[in-house]
Structure 1
Amino acid sequence: MASNINDFCRFCMKNMRISGVLGHCTTLFDKNKKPPSIPDRLMHVGLEIKRRPGKSNRVCRGCVSTLSGVEKYLPLYWRWVENEKDDESCARESSTNSEKRNREPTPSKTPRALKRFCHKATSPGINNVRRSINAAINKQVCDTEESKIVEHINNRKWVAAAKFIMNHKDLTQEVKNTILSLLENECKTICNPNNNFILWRSSPEDLKSFSFDKLESDLQRLSPLLFSIFATICQNSSPVICAASAIALRGRQPRLSAFAHYLNCVLLYGGAKKAVFDRLSKLAITTAHTNAIGKQKELANTCGASLFLLKRLNESFLTLETERHRNVGLREDNKAMSPSHKPGLIPTGVFLSTEELQLSEEELECSEEKATEEENIISVLLPESQPTPPNTYSIIMDNLDFFMHAHHQSTLHSNRSIHWIHHIAVKDRIPTHHLANDLPLLDLQQYNLTMSLPGHETQTNMRREFIVLGSRILTQYVAVFKSFRNVVVHHIPHQYSEEMAQPSTDYPLGLIFKNENKTSDLSEVLQNIQHKYTPKGPDGVSKILVGGDRLTEANCRNIQHAFADGNTNEERLEGMVFKFEDWHAIRVLFEIHYKVFFSCKSGKDHGTLCANMTKLRYVSCYE
């Protein structure tokens, strides 16, 4: 079979087809390859090649490596050439100077007497010489595009010079190449993990503190050129700049995935399926679905860290309080055992003057020393600065019920009814450590029934609150008074108004894959909650509130009664006080009220709920 000329290398004529397979070669005139191509590289070193008949269009890898070596050492070669040129110019100047020294001396000036017979030529003058030189320069140079650029640069007109440079065909390409090289260097700087770029940090703690402001500051710090390019494209919109740059950089370095995990959380919260992640991960927008679920589990494991810290603070406070009460009891016992309580001595409760006691100076000095020693002992046992009580918290849980329909039902694959438990912890705004747990506020013998009946002060407070409630209703539902909506009191002031105006601090604790309708599952859930979240002091577990709907509260109380025969308060599940949540009760109340009293068919019956709503034109219930 006749051999093809393209099977051989263009330079070394090596046969590149081995065993019928063409390999270890590259095409010279392939337009699909990224610049610079091999012909461009050869043109840079001084060799111009063209497509010719009888010449191969391929080159082997060895010749390409040789070209790379030539390009590597070509700057060194040109440096040598420049050095030789400098040496030749120096030698030429020295030879010129020596010729001037060896030249014959200049003849003497014309005698003054003969000058009047000589023809006097007119001198052109310095200004005329300058004009002629500038005209010659302008005639030779200023007709080209480069002259305008040089002229503006010489006059320090940078804006005009830049415009002419960008209009120049060859200079524009060189400027673009320079900008691209600067952009490449900035991208390498960002992709270096040692520069502490925010997109490198994808741990759960770092993702919690992720923000667009930090990303924008890092972009301005590490890559100002890249940031300016995206700012121009996105019209200086900060979130769009951060999102576009993060996606673009992850296409270059897949490990810059902090923003991708941020988008994963948004998509998972919105209920995106696996197919969404499969498509977006190929576009470098998100990670794969497996990585997204794994990161969600890592974040879930860190959700209770702040709550566990609050639990340890409560346990430390309980220990200190127990030690303080123990020291107070020890002090009281020491007072009871002191000589002042012995018969025949003056009790400490009777305050007498020094003259009435008639004590000698020695006895006074001894009593003062003894008092000083007792004060020192008390200061050691009971420090003056009591520890600040930490915030308490409560556990709120509710059932999560949903139904999974099977597309193809069978004996092994049928419809499923899922019942899980979702629980969170909420920090209490008002501390309750100042309230006693073992003593009532008032003794039963001192209690009077009139304390519970509404008096004049109670009625005054109720009247003031009813005025506030009435003003809200009038400005909300009566059109004439709606202009006064902004001046009414929306929150009745009380002792803890500032604390209750703050947003709630909650700690998500995740799902418990148990069914609260099953006794065994609910008992395991309550034991787990008490073991993980209830503070433990020297006297056993402390009590926290556990809330839910009425059915949850009833089931939890039944479980607690079933464990009432335990030996310790922990075994009896006494670390939890169950309550029902008000919002759930109010919602159920409105649902019952709506079902009982509202009917769309009673719109014509006066006095009914539907007729009154129609008369008041209150149609939000229908929407």
Structure 2
Amino acid sequence: MAAPATPTKTCALSDICVLCGFSFIQYEKKDNGEVILRKHFDRKLRFTTERVENVYKITGINFSSNSAVCLKCYRSVDSVIKSEQKNENIKANICSMARKINETHLLQLPSPRRKVITKRMLRSPVVTQSAKKGKTFNIEAVKYIPVHIAPFKEITNTGDIDKPKTVRRSLEFQDVKVNLQANQGEIEITIAYPSGRRTELVRNETEQKICRAIFNGRSSGNAKNAIIAVVSTAYRKEVVTAVSHIISCESKELCKRNSGSILQQKDHNSILEFSWDKFYRELHIKAPNTLRVIQSAVSDVPVAIGEKKFINLMLTVASAFHGRNQEMPSVHYQLGFILAHGGCTQRDIDRLAKCGMTVTSKSMHSKLETWISNLDAEVIALKKSWEEGQENTTKYQLIGDNWDKKILPSYRTSQNQTQSIHLFNVLIAVDRVQIPVVTPERDLEYADISFEKFVPSLEEQEKLKEELVFITATSVIRNIPHLSKLLDKIYPKHLPHKYSDQAGIKTVQYPLGLYDCNETKTADVIKLLKELQQKYVPHRDGEICEPVLFGGDRLTDERIQCAQEAMLNGNTSDDRLEGFISKIEDFHRSMNFFRKMDLENLSDSIPLPQQFYQYTDADKISWINDICERIIEKYFFEGSPDIMSMLRDCVTDKNHPDNYWVSNFNEGRVNVIIVKKLMRMLAV
């Protein structure tokens, strides 16, 4: 067996650093004979004109532009060059100062015998009065006018010559002399200190305007406005800097943590009760200057509360504060809820969040998860009042429907199949009409009540026909475009009755969310009904005091009834699921009605009477009602004025063939002879 080879490293001399000799290409041979190529091009710097000059300054060698230097060596060269440049600058400064002293002070003393120089300080040592006691400054301003020599004729003229008037004004100033007729010239200001006076000559044009504004506006009271006008024109940058400092202080105070701002309140009640008026009052108290500055950008005139510009103003301020402090997102949460309610996808919400218009979808969903307990808080309060039996208690009903979705995989495999999601959506609709509980005058036995009273009479069927005609006509007009153009504006929206006022009120709804329930499985429906019955069905003394309506489509109605039939052997009303009465909602019946009419194959034109456009509105309403009445009589009443005639004959005639068992009752039991006959018939 051969001995292992000695590890070696081979450096390529064709590509090395010209200062230290480091090779940028190296070959490493391991003991097993494997050769590894290592390239250190990240440490290599090609020679440019500047690098060649810098290396030449240090080494005195002129390398070619094809050479290279490593990063470590060139950093050392650069450090040496900078150090030399710094030393040269220091040396030049020292030489300059020494030369200046040598030329001015030390060689030009007043006398060869004089060895010291005494300089007078700004404050005289004779005055012993403290400057802290009386800080009153007396300012004396004298305006000098250039001298104009008059011609000889004007000098020899004996007429009156206009002389400049000297006016003395004293507004906390001393000996102020102003020439009102002069518009040009220099201004001299003298300030009287307790230790003496100091005089300055104002030559700057802007400062002269400020002095004029002070002297001219002291008496009229407009000095402040005049000074602001001059400063804002000449020193705009400085004015903007000062204003930005004021805005920054107000914003910092309002946006700091636990400041109590309305934008920091993110709980359920605070967001639902948020209003722009509350936010405006808060800004008016805590940040009035910020409000005025941003308002000036929105409009030149004051913005009235309630108009569109007012909303733009408030939204701009809220976005600015949210950008300063991420803990003030109340408005942005509301925008996210509006987008989600309108059907905006999570990806689009995240894109808008990057633009600063809303919060991210993850933050919004996390916030909604904390509000689960608040979804049915008002419903629970209604349930408690219902259980207590309060007078005119507001009642409600449940509405639900299945929500199914299939998720198709991009790549179908044995483990990645189509996912079928089955959920059930439930909401609560509050009743608009509260019907009081009717208590009978006296309790009647079931045997004393005639079964015929439960059968609808002819008068009740006639009222039912009128309601069905109105419902059918309304549905036809709304869903057939041609009839909608002709009759939608004139046909009544509601059938007149004693609750017509309440019928026009919008229904109050409370969404309860999606439940994990497959409507096609009876076990899931039973589990769902038990949960909803325990939370939303009123109980009294452990028993159901009144059932609640549960609406849906035909499948939901059938599945609820199947679940209740499967639990008929329960011991209590809760176990038997007697807390719900299932029904089919009107909109599902309307859908089935129009599916039967085959609206998709209807022609665009509908045959109308010849003089239809000359009809009055009442005649047009009568025309559509007559057509709908014929439809109801044909398909609902089946051409009979009494659809309950067969049932009425059966319950009123004891000798009717369908009353065979009832007619053979003997002391509440069926005659044994009849039972034997029946057994014999079944045996045959």
Same fold (TM over 0.5): yes
Please state whether the residue corresponding to 2:178 is helix, strand or coil. helix
CA distance, structure 2, for counterparts of residue 423 and residue 199 of structure 1: 33
The alpha-carbon distance between structure 1 residues 135 and 213, as it changes in their structure 2 partners (threshold 3 A), is closer
Tell me if 1:454 matches 2:466: no
Task: Report what 2:251 is aligned to.
Answer: 187
- Cross-structure match for 2:234: 169
Residue in 1 aligned with 2:167?
130
Alignment partner of 2:291 out of 211, 214, 227: 227
Structure 1 residue 263 displacement after superposition = 2.2
Specify the alignment match of 2:65 in structure 1: none
Shift in CA distance, 285/451, structure 1 to aligned 2, threshold 3 Å: closer
Task: Determine which structure has the larger strand proportion and give its number.
Answer: 2
What per-residue deviation string (whole Å, max 9, x for no partner) do you get for residues 328-355 of structure 1?
Answer: xxxxxxxxxxxxxxxxxxxxxxxxxxxx
- Aligned-pair CA distance for 1:489: 4.2
- The within-5 A match list for 1:375-414 is 387-414=390-417
Could you say which residue in structure 2 is the equivalent of 1:562? 566
Once the two structures are superposed, the pairs formed by residues 62-461 of structure 1 within 5 Å of their partners are 84-85=130-131, 129-130=166-167, 133-135=177-179, 138=182, 139-141=185-187, 144-150=208-214, 153-154=217-218, 155-157=220-222, 161=226, 164-170=229-235, 172-235=236-299, 236=303, 237-317=309-389, 387-435=390-438, 444-445=449-450, 452-454=457-459
Relative to total residues, which structure has the larger helix share, 1 or 2? 1
Equivalenced residues, count: 429
Is the Cα contact below 8 Å between 1:199 and 1:256 reproduced in 2? yes
Residue of 506, 514, 519 corresponding to 1:516 = 519
**Residue in structure 1 matched with residue 26 of structure 2 by the alignment:** none
SS of equivalent to 1:547: strand
Structure 1 stretch displaced more, 129-138 or 191-200: 129-138
Distance in 2 of aligned mates of 1:218 and 1:195: 12
Q: Answer whether contact 1:300 1:510 (CA < 8 A) is retained.
A: no
1:586 to 590, 599, 603: 590
Q: 1:590 to 1:216 in 2, by over 3 A?
A: farther
Structure 2 counterpart SS, 1:572? coil
Q: CA deviation at 1:287?
A: 3.2
How far is 1:145 from its partner? 2.6
Q: Distance in 2 between matches of 1:448 and 1:413?
A: 62
Distance 1:85 1:192 in 2: 41
For residues 149 and 52 of structure 1, the distance between their equivalents in structure 2, rounded to whole angstroms, comes to 53
1:54 maps onto 2:54 in alignment:
no
What is the alpha-carbon distance in structure 2 between the residues aligned to residue 167 and residue 176 of structure 1? 9
Contact 2:399/2:428 (CA < 8 Å) preserved in 1? yes
Change (3 A) 1:246 1:458: same
Which has the larger Rg?
2
Inter-CA distance 522–52: structure 2 relative to 1 (3 Å threshold): farther
Letter in 2 for 1:130: V
For 1:243-279, what per-residue CA distance to the aligned partner results, in whole angstroms no more than 9, with x for missing partners? 2222211111111111221122123334445544554
CA distance in 1, matches of 2:587, 2:128: 87
Q: 2:214·2:227 contact (CA, 8 Å) conserved in 1?
A: no
Letter of the 1:562 counterpart = A
How far, CA to CA, are the matches of 2:360 and 2:445 in structure 1?
A: 60
Instruction: Give the number of the structure with larger relative contact order, counting CA–CA contacts within 8 Å between residues 6 or more apart.
Output: 1
Match of 1:527 among 526, 530, 534: 530
Matches of 1:268 and 1:433, distance apart in 2: 40
What do the CA deviations read for 1:553-582 (whole angstroms, capped 9, x no partner)?
001101100100111111111111111111
| Displacement of 1:389 | 3.7
Decide whether aligned partners of structure 1 residues 82 and 194 sit closer, same or farther in structure 2, where only a CA change above 3 A counts.
Answer: farther
Within 2, Cα distance between the matches of 1:128 and 1:161? 24
Provide structure 2 residue ranges, at least 5 long, that are not aligned to the other structure.
1-18, 20-53, 55-74, 77-85, 92-122, 139-160, 169-175, 188-201, 304-308, 610-684
Give the Å deviation of 1:429: 1.7
What is the one-letter code of the residue matched to 1:407? S
Q: Distance in 1 between matches of 2:214 and 2:562?
A: 93
Structure 1 residues 560 and 227, CA gap change in structure 2 (3 angstroms): same
Who is 2:24 aligned against?
Answer: none
Once the two structures are superposed, residues 35-78 of structure 1 have per-residue CA deviations (whole angstroms, 9 ceiling, x without a partner) of xxxxxxxxxxxxxxxx998269xxxxxxxxxxxxxxxxxxxxx9
Report the CA distance between 1:163 and its aligned residue: 6.4
Over residues 487-531 of structure 1, what are the superposed CA-to-partner deviations in whole Å (9 max), with x where a residue is unaligned? x64333211112222211111111102111112211111111111
Flag the 1:436–1:83 CA change in 2: closer, same or farther, 3 A.
farther
* Deviation for aligned residue 1:164: 3.0
How big is the shift at 1:233?
2.6
* Distance change >3 Å, CA 435–CA 53, structure 1 → 2: farther
Matched, 1:610 2:603: yes
| Aligned-residue offset at 1:421 | 0.3
User: Does 2:579 match 1:575?
Assistant: yes
Opposite residue 207 of structure 1, the aligned amino acid is I
Tell me if the contact between 2:395 and 2:431 (Cα under 8 Å) persists in the aligned partners: yes
Matches of 1:309 and 1:187 in 2, distance apart?
A: 41
1:449 to partner: Cα distance: 10
Q: CA deviation at 1:230?
A: 2.5
Q: State the 1:148 CA deviation.
A: 4.5
- TM-score when scaled to structure 1? 0.58
CA contact (8 A) 1:514 1:521 kept: yes
Q: Residue type matched to 2:459 in 1?
A: P
CA RMSD of aligned residues (A): 4.8
TM-aligned CA deviation for residue 404 of structure 1: 1.5
The answer on whether the counterparts of 1:216 and 1:238 sit within 8 Å (CA) in structure 2 is no
SS at match of 1:431: coil
Q: Percent identity?
A: 22
**How far has the Cα of 1:461 moved from its partner?**
11
Structure 1 residue 125, shift from structure 2 partner: 14
Look up the SS of the partner of 1:411 in the other structure: coil
Q: Distance in 2 between matches of 1:294 and 1:480?
A: 47
Secondary structure of residue in 2 paired with 1:407: coil
Three-state SS of the structure 2 residue aligned to 1:54 is: helix
Matched-pair contact (CA < 8 Å) for 2:517–2:528 = yes
Inter-CA distance 153–194: structure 2 relative to 1 (3 Å threshold):
farther
Q: Give secondary structure in 2 for the equivalent of 1:498.
A: helix
- 1:452 and 1:511 map into 2 onto residues whose CA distance is 43
For 1:272 and 1:256, locate their aligned partners in 2 and report how far apart those are by CA, in whole Å: 23
Change beyond 3 A, Cα 1:125–1:287: closer
Amino acid of the structure 2 residue aligned with 1:453: L
